[in-house]
């Protein structure tokens, strides 16, 4: 079964109906008489992602922050469904010929919800904030890696000077982790700004009841919707109750019971159930950036041997596992990039399940003996692979998938040690290079994510301590490809370079692609006009209204 | 007061009342636990013991054999308890999980008992100063009620099945200690210990012949009562993701893995939970009966 | 439990002489004497509670030093926090970790004394304020669950001691099973039946009354199992006690005997178990608040444990320990008030 | 008060004929009991435990229990049949027509309620009086039962009252509505002798006022002082009925005779109380002395030294100025024994008598070396015994044995009789079983027990058998002194008689010295050569038993003697 992999923006109720139908043939169409959006009401959103420790996505920079901050913060640019850059808080921009100077025109007449006007100086302050090590930014910091200087030329003009050309700059700037906040808000200090960042978005943070919910209220002066929004002026919804319900069963039950209107992180079994249930709709919006994949740590034995890497990949039957666990809600990936990335390159033949080939490869690599438990041994060392699993990040189905891979790998003679860890210990295990396999999806707009994930310098930690190249790929040829790709301005050349780079990653057996980063929303039938912003697929409730 | 002390107290009071009611018309067996309940408990325990010792006989299907395409099958003739998210047979997993789960409960209980014996005997034997100190320590430990001590322990030593077992054991130790201390003091002040002194028996001999046997003999019963609760607490920790982890066929881990699918596949959590409930109930009933037997015999 | 060194034990007919002087001569314990005794009791118990609180603070202070690695890093969330050197230095300065341990200890006690529980790294908030916000919810849950458990237990115990052997067997069987039920399992079954199935109650704890029903019942059922057994035993004891024979011989009806005499005795052990029940409920709250997504101390504790948020864990532990100590003290006081027999001991 | 006396005449208040009570399908506990009580009459129902007397009494209240099957030719209260009454009708009778006083007033009054409320309950249930008037009535009642400070007492709970006051409160609650019939079930059993006398006086006053009393008692001597008629009950039947004088002085039935004979009060030293044939005892005892006469036993096994001879010999166990204090729960010091001195000679019994809390048991424990005196010394056979390190005392422990009131508690619950005695015989070493076995059998024979009890646990023995085992254990190391702390208080009178006789035989045969402790002046008078009277920690009077009983010098002794019930009129 193939389904459209990409949710799109709504341009009206009819489009909404069409969109919502994308998710499955059984989803009912919204009732016919609901063409006119209704003003007002409170929408309850239940998030299964971890509760952010800071509502300012500059700090750290993870997906939970992106989800909620999309409601109150806006970026300089956005994307349309086809991946084309749309103006947002920046109305226009141009690039110098050498690609080292970018000049942005800042949208006029926009004010932050604290009354501060949006101008070039405010944007400059934001860039400075992200680049300040004290902010502990990770995602945003990496995305601005080539921005050497930012300067407010006048009230409406911002000039960025780059250290090297950056073909991904606009994609980077579209991300919520580089959203623009009121400089007055930032000046309050990290604690205050984390509690209630001030943006230009359609909603504003009213209260944050930790461990429970965030209350967002409508910004009645809102004036800056992106071009693909379906209306102008303030949002329809009066309020959003943004709850944190980490338990997926409770979350789905709450949706069923009508306690909440929208849930994210819907699990495969509930998606299937919702498809067959009355009154629920589905919005499937895979995240951009990397696919969900297992990274094979080539930086240490036994995966420093490409034959062992290939053997592992051949030994496990991912297709059946994905089919059984995801019940048709997820499709197998064979690419380093998410299927929503236009430049994603797939090579399925590299990942065919072939236990015999796996055994031969291992024999060839010298892992010829087996011990009493059936695991391969070389020089008295067991062929053991440690797989730290972040219980906060890996959904249960994924954890079960690892178990199934573990069972399959055992037949080939691999001992896979699953090590469920809390987030902190998981980071710790990565930091100590104490892993052979790891699943760490990375969300970023555009193929430039490949540079973050596979360039040699990605083995060095960012200020927050995070490093992204978990496969520990250190290949000068690949580095060269990725750097060139990030600097060329010709789209075709860029596409070709990224395809080469992806092929190198795949053929080097550095990763085992599994499926897209699952990102499915379930909503009640009376929720209309919900869409995922095409940047990082976070939901935007600006066009949303309640048909009740 | 701990769960244990409540259990122990319950098992005790019935016997004492029955014994006190020696007078005419005191319906002798009127309030014994009903025979049917005890027989059922015995049957359950037999089944559990068989499952723990020879799981492959009780449930021949390999509990770890995955079959991805047969995932989430509801209970049927082929899979009496259904299949889990990886297509494994849940009945088989539950049966094969009996051994580890009981072992976990027993290990935690033994740890608790060991701690209890050390603290309790120290308090009861080593004089007033030690007794005072141990009593204060117990009061402090009791201020970490229930799971709190276990959770605190896990924070310090990290989650996992070993720490969870030790944590449950540690958190039950104060309860055991207080019971043992009380028992020890009762025995030490008992008329038969005095009688042995009057017969000219030395301290050491009185300790070995009378005090220790009479103090420690009830521990077996106490342990039986405690195992059920230990299993429940350990499973709770596993359920919260702090104990045993999948894919181990341990009940708590199965519960933890199955909780995600509760709204669509209830059998993943229901059956392991049912076995925990059965185990805890059966050991409680059996423990009570044992305690009554012991006390009725004197 | 029992006092130390009873002199006349194992002796003849001499039972405990009782607090009052024998014979009609001596003046009974006057009101002044009683007030003095009560004051002494309170003084000693409050001092004891203060001691335990201090000891808990001390124990936790030294226990967290057992955590392997750098305590400053632990405070910031462990090795994964990737804390910067500046942050570590700030924490070291704040907690005085560069000072000798004795100084640190005294400073820690000083901070606790003024109610400063530090800052949660995972929530970036003052722990004391945070817990202050979470405590009422958990207390409400615990108090309601205790009340429901009491009612359930009393109903079951009364019913099962009224009729014949069948109801007795069913009653005691239900109690034993209820006491063995893990909270999470009850919650799951209740949600399956009453939310997913019948749709009567929300599966998550919404602010209204309806949202409280399932969490409260989940917490109450096992507790009712324990309390029911205890109540039933004391009910049976009381029903056979000579004073109920006296009461019947006075012409008291069976209902009257239960109402005037027996229930009081049955309630006593349930009161004395309330301290234990509080602990049981807090443990249960960890599970129940998680499953029903209810904000409260239990869920905070679990999150803090999972994230190894040491300041927050310490805060919850201290708050719960303090609450437990207070509840125990109040329970003992209530028992002392209700049962004059306990005043002698 | 109500006009109960108006019923008048000679019509019996209570008439029972052919009463049978059975529980479940078992044999009847009460089997054909007939009796009647006239107004102002006190009928004593006397029997040993299990004879069915309490069940009979409760049946009169309809409180025999749910599982009881009650049948009777007649069961009438003031001419009204009580058979087949509804629950409601019973409730009208209880408290108003019949009052009940139970043995243990502490447990018979709700420990959680003020006694005033308990007493007022009868008024609440049977009268329409408003609470305030009930309160006044309660105070009147309390005064009428001789309760001092009734206002204060009414507010106190039973646990705050002394035993005597508690019993008065219980009586007040039973007579609140002046019922024509009062059932008193062992009303004085747990009380000290002097208190018992006062309670009996109170019951006597009630009887004099016209209340019919059904008095249940195991104690013939108690009955003597108050009852008009006696019905002797055994195994569910009434064996003999008649006036007190007739039954106690001229018993017709063998059972009654044995019962009367078993009462120690007033019987001279050495007179046998039990009906056991002496010859068989003698054979047993011969076997026993054989066993105890094994070579190496240096203890003189002679005939009992008569008091005169004993006085001549050196004292075996002496206490000099013994004082011992305890710290109370409130931290205050209480002197349990104060400056007590005694002498015990071989073959002699020193009886120690006193009320509860007088320090008897503390003195016994001082004598046993289980407690060290604060001041004073104990000497055994002329050598220091206490204070002394236990280590030095241990070698001579075999000289002193102990017998307790509750023998069951004094046995390790895990051990069988055989192991208990083998352990005692072996002197703590593990002796060879075969040899021990012969000795065990003769040891058992010496206390009149068959070898079959060896395999059993004390829990499964009767009270008398247990005490015999306890005595056998005490004898095993061949002691010269036995310290007996209330050894017979928990036993029925006929069993008590057997145990006392056994002790007497053993003393005679083995020349033992006894320190015999009892609250019962009758027992002490019977067993002792010398008597010491204890009160509030002091020995207030001591001397040859006959002298002290005949001419008590100390007021407390006189009060004790006056209060002690006896069989003689």
What is the average per-residue pLDDT within B204-216? 85
Six-digit token string for C220: 């109450």
Using 50, 70 and 90 to split pLDDT, how confident is the model at C15?
very low
Look at residue D534 and give its three-state secondary structure: strand
CB contact under 8 A, A257 and C293: no
Q: What is the pLDDT of residue D284?
A: 40
Q: What is the pLDDT of residue C66?
A: 75
Which subunits sit against A, judged by 3+ Cβ pairs under 8 A?
B, C
Using 50, 70 and 90 to split pLDDT, how confident is the model at B289?
confident
Name the pairing type of β-strands D181-185 and D98-101. parallel
Task: List the D400-403 sheet strands across, edge first.
Answer: D400-403, D481-485, D513-518, D349-354, D530-535, D538-544
Using 50, 70 and 90 to split pLDDT, how confident is the model at C82?
low
Distance, in angstroms, between D19 CA and closest chain B CA? 16
Look at residue A356 and give its three-state secondary structure: helix
> Does B263 touch chain A if contact means CB atoms closer than 8 Å?
yes
- What residues of chain C lie within 8 A of the CB of B136, using their CB? 51-52, 55
Task: State how far the Cα of B216 lies from the Cα of B223, in Å rounded to an integer.
Answer: 11
Name the pairing type of β-strands A262-263 and D400-403. unpaired
Of residues B28, D329, D562, D24, the one with CA closest to residue C8: D329
Residue from B187, B192, B194, B196 whose CB has the most chain D CBs within 10 Å, to mutate: B192
**For D300-415+461-471+478-563, which CATH class?**
alpha beta
In DSSP notation, C214-246 reads HHHHHHHHHHHHHHHHHHHHHHHHHHHSHHHHH
C-alpha distance from residue A356 to each of A24, A359, A408 (Å): 38, 5, 12
Task: State how far the Cα of B171 lies from the Cα of B163, in Å rounded to an integer.
Answer: 12
- Considering only the beta carbons, identify the residue of A54, A246, A427 that sits closest to C80: A427
The H or E element that residue A322 is part of is: helix A318-326
Cα-to-chain-centroid distance, residue B248: 21
Distance, in angstroms, between B28 CA and closest chain C CA? 13
> Does A18 touch chain B if contact means CB atoms closer than 8 Å?
no
CB contact under 8 A, D390 and B297: no
Please give the residue of chain A at the shortest CA–CA distance from B159.
A421
**pLDDT digits over B54-101, tens only?**
888 888 888 878 887 888 888 988 888 988 888 889 999 999 989 888
CB contact under 8 A, A323 and B262: no
Q: What is the pLDDT of residue B264?
A: 78
Task: State how far the Cα of B159 lies from the Cα of B234, in Å rounded to an integer.
Answer: 12
Please give the residue of chain A at the shortest CA–CA distance from B240.
A247
What is the number of CB-based contacts under 8 A between chain B and chain D?
84
Of residues C222, C216, C177, C193, the one with CA closest to residue C296: C216
Range with lowest mean pLDDT among B260-264, C80-84, D452-456, D559-563: C80-84
**pLDDT digits over C280-321, tens only?**
888 888 888 888 888 888 888 888 887 777 888 888 888 888
- D45, D236 contact by CB (below 8 A): no
Of residues B137, B113, B97, the one with CA closest to residue B224: B113
For residue D262, pLDDT over 90 is answered with: no
- What residues of chain C lie within 8 A of the CB of D100, using their CB? 245-246, 249-250
pLDDT averaged over 10-residue windows placed end to end, chain A, 548 residues:
35 38 38 68 90 88 89 93 90 91 93 94 94 84 88 93 90 93 92 91 91 91 90 93 84 84 89 87 89 91 92 91 86 91 90 91 91 89 91 79 88 89 79 88 86 86 71 92 88 92 93 89 92 90 91
> Does A253 touch chain C if contact means CB atoms closer than 8 Å?
yes
Compute the C-alpha angle A19/A23/A26, nearest 5°: 110
Q: Which CATH architecture has domain C127-344?
A: Orthogonal Bundle (1.10)
Which residues 6+ apart lie within 8 Å of C207 measured at CB?
none
User: A161 has which bridge partners?
Assistant: A101, A149
What is the number of CB-based contacts under 8 A between chain C and chain D?
164
> Does D25 touch chain B if contact means CB atoms closer than 8 Å?
no
- Considering only the beta carbons, identify the residue of C121, C133, C290 that sits closest to A247: C290
Q: Which ranges in D175-253 belong to alpha helices (H)?
A: 193-208, 220-226, 244-249
Range with lowest mean pLDDT among A308-317, C269-278, D554-563: C269-278
The answer, yes or no, to whether the previous bond of B32 is cis (omega within 30 of 0) is no
CB contact under 8 A, C11 and D330: no
Angle between helices B161-188 and B3-20 (to 10 degrees): 30
Burial track A279-295 (b if 16+ CB lie within 10 A, e otherwise):
ebbbbbbbbbbbbbbbb
CB contact under 8 A, C195 and A257: yes
CB contact under 8 A, B10 and C233: yes
Structure-model confidence comparison of residues A411 and D267, the more confident one: A411
| pTM of the entire predicted model | 0.79
Q: Which ranges in A342-389 belong to alpha helices (H)?
A: 355-364
The interface predicted TM-score (ipTM) is 0.77
Residue D101 φ/ψ, nearest 5 degrees: -120, 125
Using 50, 70 and 90 to split pLDDT, how confident is the model at B197?
confident
> Does B281 touch chain A if contact means CB atoms closer than 8 Å?
no
Look at residue A335 and give its three-state secondary structure: coil
> Does B241 touch chain A if contact means CB atoms closer than 8 Å?
yes
> Does B156 touch chain A if contact means CB atoms closer than 8 Å?
no
Distance, in angstroms, between B182 CA and closest chain D CA? 17
Q: What is the pLDDT of residue B215?
A: 83
Of residues B147, B207, B197, the one with CA closest to residue B171: B147
Taking only Cα atoms into account, the Rg of chain A, rounded to an integer number of angstroms, comes to 23
Please give the residue of chain C at the shortest CA–CA distance from A259.
C202
| Ranges of each domain in chain B | 2-21+37-297
Please give the residue of chain B at the shortest CA–CA distance from A256.
B263
Name the pairing type of β-strands A384-390 and A415-421. parallel
Six-digit token string for A211: 């461990």
**pLDDT digits over D340-370, tens only?**
999 998 889 999 998 888 888 899 999 998 8
- What residues of chain A lie within 8 A of the CB of B261, using their CB? 249, 267, 269, 396
Contact exists between D and C (3 or more beta carbon pairs < 8 Å): yes
Task: State how far the Cα of A543 lies from the Cα of A202, in Å rounded to an integer.
Answer: 10
For residues A35, A38, A44, A49, the Cα torsion angle rounded to the nearest 10 degrees is 50
Name the pairing type of β-strands D400-403 and D481-485. parallel
> Does A328 touch chain B if contact means CB atoms closer than 8 Å?
no
> Quick one: what percent of chain C has pLDDT higher than 70?
81
Q: Which ranges in D305-447 belong to alpha helices (H)?
A: 307-312, 360-367, 390-394, 417-425, 433-446
Count of helix runs (H) and strand runs (E) in chain C: 15, 2
- What residues of chain A lie within 8 A of the CB of B263, using their CB? 249, 252-253, 256, 269-270, 273
Contact exists between B and D (3 or more beta carbon pairs < 8 Å): yes
CB contact under 8 A, B198 and D398: no
In DSSP notation, C93-129 reads HHHTTTS-HHHHHHHHHHHHHTT---EETTTTEEHHH
| Ranges of each domain in chain C | 47-113, 127-344
Burial track A497-516 (b if 16+ CB lie within 10 A, e otherwise):
bbbbbbebbbebbbbbbbbb
Structure-model confidence comparison of residues D270 and A146, the more confident one: A146
Name the pairing type of β-strands A239-244 and A381-382. unpaired
In this structure, how many other beta carbons lie within 10 angstroms of the beta carbon of residue A156? 17
Of residues C218, C229, C223, C216, the one with CA closest to residue C175: C229
Q: What is the pLDDT of residue A436?
A: 93
In DSSP notation, A398-437 reads HHHHHHHHHHHHHHHT-EEEEEEE-HHHHHHHHHTT--SE
Which subunits sit against B, judged by 3+ Cβ pairs under 8 A?
A, C, D
**pLDDT digits over B140-150, tens only?**
888 887 788 88
In this structure, how many other beta carbons lie within 10 angstroms of the beta carbon of residue B110? 16
Which residues 6+ apart lie within 8 Å of B127 measured at CB?
none
> Does C341 touch chain D if contact means CB atoms closer than 8 Å?
yes
Residue from B28, B194, B198, B291 whose CB has the most chain D CBs within 10 Å, to mutate: B198
CB contact under 8 A, D405 and C12: yes
Structure-model confidence comparison of residues A472 and C340, the more confident one: A472
Q: What is the pLDDT of residue A130?
A: 92
> Quick one: what percent of chain B has pLDDT higher than 90?
6
- What residues of chain A lie within 8 A of the CB of C131, using their CB? none
Using 50, 70 and 90 to split pLDDT, how confident is the model at C3?
very low
- The average confidence (pLDDT) of chain C is 77
Q: What is the pLDDT of residue A514?
A: 92
Task: State how far the Cα of D32 lies from the Cα of D26, in Å rounded to an integer.
Answer: 15
Q: Set out the domains of chain A in order of their start, with CATH numbers.
A: 12-285+519-546 (3.40.190.10), 292-515 (3.10.105.10)
Structure-model confidence comparison of residues B1 and A275, the more confident one: A275
Using 50, 70 and 90 to split pLDDT, how confident is the model at D540?
very high
- What residues of chain C lie within 8 A of the CB of A392, using their CB? 306
Which subunits sit against C, judged by 3+ Cβ pairs under 8 A?
A, B, D
- Considering only the beta carbons, identify the residue of D173, D195, D360 that sits closest to C246: D173
Six-digit token string for A490: 């010709």
Using 50, 70 and 90 to split pLDDT, how confident is the model at B128?
confident
**For B2-21+37-297, which CATH class?**
mainly alpha
What is the SS3 assignment for chain B? CCHHHHHHHHHHHHHHHHHHCCCCCCCCCCCCCCHHHHHHHHHHHHHHHHHHHCHHHHCCCCCCCCCHHHCCCCCCCCCCCCECCCCCEHHHHHHHHHHHHHHHHHHHHHHHHHHHHHHHHHHHHCHHHHHHHHHHHHHHHHCCCCHHHHHHHHHHHCCCHHHHHHHHHHHHHHHHHHHHHHHHHHHHCCHHHHHHHHCCCCHHHHHHHHHHHHHHHHHHHHHHHHHHHHHHHHHHHHHCCCCCCCCCCCHHHHHHHHHHHCCCCCHHHHHHHHHHHHHHHHHHHHHHHHHHHHHHHC
Q: What is the pLDDT of residue A395?
A: 79
For residue B34, pLDDT over 70 is answered with: no
Six-digit token string for B152: 């605190």
- D446, D475 contact by CB (below 8 A): yes
Structure-model confidence comparison of residues A305 and B256, the more confident one: A305
- The average confidence (pLDDT) of chain D is 83
Q: What is the pLDDT of residue C172?
A: 80
- D23, D29 contact by CB (below 8 A): yes
CB contact under 8 A, C202 and A428: no
């Amino acid at each position: 079964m193939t389904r459209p992999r990409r949710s799109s923006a709504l341009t009206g109720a009819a489009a909404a109906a069409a969109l919502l139908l994308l998710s499955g043939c059984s989803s009912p169409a919204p009732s016919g008489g609901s063409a006119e959006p209704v003003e007002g009401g409170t929408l309850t959103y239940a998030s299964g992602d971890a509760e952010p420790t800071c509502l300012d996505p500059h700090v750290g920079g993870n997906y939970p922050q992106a989800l909620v901050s999309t409601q109150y913060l806006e970026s300089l640019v956005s994307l349309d469904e086809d991946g084309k850059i749309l103006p947002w808080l920046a109305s226009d921009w141009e690039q110098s010929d050498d690609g080292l100077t970018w000049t942005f025109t800042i949208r006029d007449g926009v004010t932050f919800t604290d009354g501060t006007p949006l101008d070039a100086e405010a944007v400059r302050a934001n860039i400075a904030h992200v680049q300040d090590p004290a902010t502990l930014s990770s995602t945003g910091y990496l995305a601005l890696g080539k921005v050497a200087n930012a300067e407010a030329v006048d009230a409406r003009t911002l000039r960025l000077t780059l250290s090297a050309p950056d073909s991904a700059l606009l994609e980077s700037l579209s991300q919520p982790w580089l959203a623009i906040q009121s400089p007055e808000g930032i000046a309050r200090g990290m604690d205050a700004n984390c509690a209630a960042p001030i943006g230009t978005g359609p909603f504003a943070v009213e209260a944050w009841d930790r461990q429970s919910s965030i209350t967002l209220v409508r910004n009645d002066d809102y004036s800056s919707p992106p071009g693909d929004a379906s209306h102008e002026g303030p949002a329809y919804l009066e309020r959003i109750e943004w709850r944190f319900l980490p338990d997926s069963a409770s979350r789905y039950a709450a949706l069923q019971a009508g306690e909440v209107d929208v849930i994210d992180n819907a699990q495969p079994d509930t998606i299937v159930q919702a498809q067959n249930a009355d009154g629920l709709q589905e919005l499937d919006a895979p995240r951009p950036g990397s696919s969900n994949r297992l990274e094979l740590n080539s930086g240490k034995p036994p995966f420093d041997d490409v034959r062992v890497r290939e053997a592992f990949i051949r030994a496990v039957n991912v297709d059946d596992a994905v089919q059984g666990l995801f019940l048709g809600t997820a499709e197998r990936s064979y690419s380093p990039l998410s299927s929503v990335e236009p430049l994603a390159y797939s090579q399925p033949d590299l990942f065919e399940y072939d236990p015999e080939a796996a055994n031969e490869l291992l024999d060839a690599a010298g892992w010829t003996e087996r011990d009493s438990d059936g695991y391969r041994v070389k020089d008295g060392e067991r062929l053991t692979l440690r797989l730290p699993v972040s219980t906060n990040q890996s959904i249960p189905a994924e954890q079960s998938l690892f178990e199934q891979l573990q069972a399959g790998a055992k037949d080939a003679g691999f001992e896979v040690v699953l090590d469920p860890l809390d987030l902190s210990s998981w980071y710790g295990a990565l930091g100590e290079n104490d892993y052979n396999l790891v699943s760490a999806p990375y969300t970023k707009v555009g193929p430039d994510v490949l540079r973050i994930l596979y360039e040699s310098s990605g083995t060095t930690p960012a200020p927050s301590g995070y490093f992204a190249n978990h496969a520990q790929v250190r290949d000068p040829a690949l580095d060269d490809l990725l750097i060139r790709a990030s600097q060329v301005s010709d789209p075709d050349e860029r596409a070709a370079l990224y395809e080469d780079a992806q092929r190198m990653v795949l053929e080097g057996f550095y990763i085992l692609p599994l499926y897209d980063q699952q990102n499915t929303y379930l909503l009640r039938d009376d929720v209309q006009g919900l869409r995922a912003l095409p940047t990082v697929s976070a939901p935007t409730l600006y066009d949303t209204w309640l048909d009740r | 007061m701990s769960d244990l002390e409540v259990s122990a107290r319950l098992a005790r009071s019935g016997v004492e009342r029955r014994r006190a009611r020696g007078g005419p018309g005191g319906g002798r067996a009127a309030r014994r636990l009903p025979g049917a309940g005890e027989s059922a408990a015995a049957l359950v325990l037999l089944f559990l013991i068989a499952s723990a010792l020879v799981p492959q006989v009780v449930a021949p299907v390999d509990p770890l054999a995955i079959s991805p395409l047969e995932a989430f099958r509801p209970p049927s003739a082929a899979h009496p308890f259904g299949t889990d998210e990886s297509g494994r047979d849940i009945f088989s997993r539950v049966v094969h999980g009996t051994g580890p789960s009981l072992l976990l409960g027993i290990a935690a209980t033994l740890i608790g008992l060991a701690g209890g014996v050390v603290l309790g005997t120290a308090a009861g034997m080593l004089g007033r100063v030690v007794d005072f100190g141990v009593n204060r320590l117990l009061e402090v430990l009791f201020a970490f009620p229930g799971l709190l001590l276990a959770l605190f322990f896990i924070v310090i030593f990290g989650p996992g099945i070993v720490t969870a077992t030790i944590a449950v054991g540690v958190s039950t130790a104060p309860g055991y200690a207080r019971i043992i201390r009380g028992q020890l003091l009762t025995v030490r002040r008992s008329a038969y210990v005095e009688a042995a002194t009057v017969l000219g028996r030395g301290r050491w001999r009185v300790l070995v012949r009378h005090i220790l046997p009479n103090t420690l003999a009830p521990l077996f019963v106490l342990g039986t009562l405690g195992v059920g609760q230990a299993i429940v607490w350990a499973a709770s920790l596993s359920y919260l993701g702090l104990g045993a982890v999948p894919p181990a066929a341990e009940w708590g881990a199965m519960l933890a893995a199955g909780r995600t699918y509760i709204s669509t596949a209830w059998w993943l959590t229901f059956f392991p939970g049912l076995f925990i409930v059965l185990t805890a109930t059966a050991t409680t009933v059996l423990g009570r009966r044992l305690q009554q037997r012991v006390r009725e015999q004197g | 439990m029992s006092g130390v060194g009873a002199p006349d034990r194992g002796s003849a007919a001499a039972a405990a002489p009782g607090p009052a002087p024998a014979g009609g001569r001596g003046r009974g314990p006057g009101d002044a004497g009683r007030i003095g005794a009560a004051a002494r009791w309170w003084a000693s118990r409050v001092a004891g509670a203060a001691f335990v609180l201090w000891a808990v603070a001390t124990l936790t202070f030294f226990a967290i030093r057992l955590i392997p690695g750098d305590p400053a890093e632990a405070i910031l969330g462990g090795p994964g926090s990737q804390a910067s050197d500046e942050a570590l230095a700030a924490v070291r300065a704040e907690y005085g970790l560069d000072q000798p341990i004795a100084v640190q200890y005294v400073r820690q006690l000083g901070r606790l004394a003024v109610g400063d529980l530090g800052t949660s790294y995972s929530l970036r908030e003052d722990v004391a304020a945070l817990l202050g916000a979470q405590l009422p919810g958990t207390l409400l849950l615990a108090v309601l669950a205790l009340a429901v458990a009491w009612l359930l237990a009393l109903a079951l115990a009364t019913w099962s001691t009224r009729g014949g052997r069948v109801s007795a067997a069913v009653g005691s069987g239900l109690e034993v099973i209820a006491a063995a039920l893990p909270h999470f399992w009850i919650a799951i079954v209740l949600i399956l039946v009453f939310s997913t199935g019948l749709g009567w109650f929300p599966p998550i704890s919404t602010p209204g009354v309806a949202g409280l029903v399932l969490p409260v019942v989940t917490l109450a059922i096992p507790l009712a199992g324990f309390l029911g057994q205890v109540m039933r035993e004391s009910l049976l004891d009381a029903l056979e006690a000579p004073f109920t024979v006296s009461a019947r011989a006075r012409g008291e009806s069976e209902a009257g005997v239960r109402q005037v005499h027996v229930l009081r005795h049955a309630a006593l052990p349930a009161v004395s178990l309330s301290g234990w029940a509080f602990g049981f409920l807090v443990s249960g709250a960890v599970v129940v608040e998680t499953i029903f997504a209810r904000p409260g101390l239990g869920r905070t504790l679990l999150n803090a444990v999972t994230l190894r948020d040491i300041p927050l864990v310490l805060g919850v532990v201290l708050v719960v320990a303090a609450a437990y100590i207070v509840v125990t003290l109040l329970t003992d006081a209530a028992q002392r008030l209700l049962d004059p027999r306990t005043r002698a001991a | 008060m109500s006009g109960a006396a108006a019923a008048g005449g000679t019509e019996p208040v209570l008439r029972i004929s052919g009463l049978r009570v059975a529980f479940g399908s078992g044999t009847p506990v009460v089997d054909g009991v007939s009796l009647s009580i006239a107004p102002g009459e006190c009928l004593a129902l006397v029997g040993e435990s299990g004879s069915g007397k309490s069940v009979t009494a409760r049946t009169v209240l309809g409180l025999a229990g749910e599982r009881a099957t009650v049948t009777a030719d007649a069961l009438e209260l003031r001419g009204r049949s009580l058979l087949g009454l509804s629950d409601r009708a019973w409730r009208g009778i209880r408290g108003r027509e019949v009052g009940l006083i139970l043995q243990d007033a502490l447990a018979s009054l709700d420990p959680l309620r003020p006694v005033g409320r308990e007493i007022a309950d009868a008024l609440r249930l049977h009268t329409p009086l408003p609470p305030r008037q009930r309160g006044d009535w309660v105070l009147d009642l309390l005064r009428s039962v001789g309760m001092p400070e009734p206002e204060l007492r009414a507010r106190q709970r039973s646990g705050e009252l002394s035993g005597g006051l508690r019993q008065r409160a219980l009586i007040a609650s039973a007579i609140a509505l002046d019922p024509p019939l009062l059932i008193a079930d062992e009303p004085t059993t747990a009380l000290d002798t002097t208190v018992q006398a006062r309670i009996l006086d109170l019951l006597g006053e009630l009887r004099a006022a016209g209340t019919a009393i059904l008095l249940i008692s195991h104690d013939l001597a108690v009955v003597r002082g108050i009852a008009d008629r006696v019905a002797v009950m055994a195994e569910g039947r009434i064996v003999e009925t008649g006036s007190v004088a007739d039954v106690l002085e001229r018993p017709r039935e063998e059972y009654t005779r044995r019962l009367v004979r078993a009462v120690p009060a007033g019987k001279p030293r050495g007179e046998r109380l039990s009906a056991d044939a002496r010859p068989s005892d003698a054979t047993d005892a011969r076997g026993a002395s054989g066993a105890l006469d094994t070579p190496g036993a240096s203890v003189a096994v002679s005939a009992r030294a008569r008091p005169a001879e004993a006085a001549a010999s050196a004292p075996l166990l002496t206490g000099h100025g013994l004082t011992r204090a305890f710290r109370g729960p409130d931290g205050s010091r209480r002197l349990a024994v104060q400056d007590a001195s005694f002498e015990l000679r071989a073959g002699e019994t020193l009886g120690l008598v006193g009320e509860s809390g007088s320090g008897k048991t503390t003195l016994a424990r001082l004598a046993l070396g289980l407690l060290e005196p604060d001041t004073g010394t104990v000497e055994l056979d002329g050598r220091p015994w206490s204070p002394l390190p236990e280590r030095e005392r241990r070698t001579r422990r075999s000289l002193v044995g102990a017998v307790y009131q509750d023998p069951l508690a004094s046995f390790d619950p895990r051990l069988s009789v055989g192991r208990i005695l083998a352990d005692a015989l072996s002197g703590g070493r593990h002796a060879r079983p075969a040899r021990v076995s012969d000795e065990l059998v003769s040891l058992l024979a010496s206390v009149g027990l068959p070898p079959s009890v060896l395999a059993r646990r004390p829990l499964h023995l009767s009270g008398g058998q247990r005490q015999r085992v306890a005595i056998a254990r005490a004898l095993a190391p061949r002691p010269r002194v036995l310290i007996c702390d209330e050894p017979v208080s928990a036993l029925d009178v006929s069993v008590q008689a057997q145990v006392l006789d056994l002790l007497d035989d053993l003393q005679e045969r083995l020349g033992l010295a006894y320190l015999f402790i009892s609250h019962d002046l009758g027992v002490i008078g019977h067993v002792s050569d010398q008597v010491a009277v204890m009160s509030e920690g002091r020995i207030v009077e001591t001397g040859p038993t006959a002298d002290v009983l005949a001419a008590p010098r100390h007021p407390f002794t006189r009060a004790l003697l006056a209060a002690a019930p006896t069989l003689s009129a």
